Amino acid sequence: MESPGAAGAGMAAALLAAKGALRAELKRRLRALSEAEKQRQSRLLSRKVIGHSKYQDSRRIAVFLSMRDEVQTEEIIKDMFQRGKECFIPKYKPGSSHMDMVKLTSTEEISSLPLTSWNIQQPGDNDIREEALSVGGLDLILIPGLGFDKSGNRLGRGKGYYDTYLERCMQHPKGKPYTIALAFKEQICDTVPVAENDIQIDEILYEDS
C-alpha cells in the first residue's frame, strides 16, 4: 500500500504532467492563429471590457502589457487614461514568483519601457513607482494566461505570479479585486487541471462569452 506522502507526490507529478501537456497544446493553437485573427479578437474583447459594468465602476485597474500571443490591451489602456482611471502594470521579479503592480503615467510611456528577457515591457529596477497595494489597492485586475475553462480555472505559464499576487491582494484592507481574464476563443478548454493553491478567476471574456 502506498504511503500518503507517496500518493500525494504521485498526484502532484500527474498534475504537473497534465498542465505541461495542456500548455504545449495551447502554445500550438496560439502559433496557428494569424496576426489578423488575433487583432480581430483583441478589438472585440477591448469593446467588451470597455462596455463592462465592473470596468466602468472601477477606478484603480491593473492590466497586462501584451506579449505577441496574448489579447492586445493597448485600446483598453488608452481608454483608461481617457476616462481618468489609474492604470497599474505588472513588474515581475525574474527567478521568483514575486510580481508588483506599478503605476503607469501615460499610454505613450509604454514604448520607452525596457524589455525583459521574456520580451515583456516593464519599468527597470531603478524605476521607483507607486505599487498598487502600498496605497489604495485595486478594484479590478485584467489577467492573461495560456488557457482557461468556463468554471474560471486558469492555466498560466508556470511561474505563479498572478496566484501569488492575488494572495497578497486578499491581505489588503480593500480585499481581493474583481478579476477578468482576457482570452482568445482558442484558449478556452473543457477543463483546466488545477491545484488547491490555484486561484479561480471571477470572469473570463472571450469572443463567445
Q: What is the pLDDT of residue 1?
A: 46
User: Is the separation of the CB atoms in 111 and 104 below 8 Å?
Assistant: no
**φ, ψ at 171 (rounded to 5°):** -85, -15
SS3 108: helix
Domains of the chain as residue ranges with CATH: 4-205 (3.40.50.10420)
Instruction: Flag whether 168 is marked binding.
Output: no
Position 108, amino acid: E
Consult the annotation and say whether 19 binds a ligand. Answer: yes
Which is it for strands 60-62 and 178-182: parallel, antiparallel or unpaired?
unpaired
The reply, when asked if residue 162 is annotated as ligand binding, is: yes
Sequence length of the chain is 209
> With b meaning 16 or more CB within 10 Å and e meaning fewer, what string describes 111-150?
eebeeeeeebbbbeeeeebeebbeeebbbbbbbbbbbbbe
Residues 6+ apart with CB under 8 A from 25: none
Cβ neighbourhood burial of 79 (10 Å; 0-12, 13-18, 19+): middle
Core vs surface per residue 54-73: b (16+ CB within 10 A) or e: bbeebebbbbbbbeebbbbb
User: 206 labelled as ligand-binding?
Assistant: no
* Residue 179 burial (C-beta neighbours within 10 Å; 0-12, 13-18, 19+): buried
Q: Does 6 carry a binding-site annotation?
A: no
- Whether residue 157 is annotated as binding a ligand: the answer is yes
Q: Is 159 known as a binding-site position? A: yes
What is the maximum alpha-carbon separation in the chain? Answer: 63
Say whether 29 counts as a known binding-site residue: no
Does the reported pTM lie above 0.85? yes
Q: What is the pLDDT along the chain (209 residues), one digit of tens a residue?
A: 445 566 677 788 899 999 999 999 999 999 999 999 999 999 999 999 999 999 999 999 999 999 999 999 999 999 999 999 999 999 998 888 899 999 999 999 999 999 888 788 999 988 999 999 998 999 999 999 999 999 999 999 888 899 999 999 999 999 899 999 999 999 999 999 988 778 899 999 999 98
CA distance 132 to 38: 30
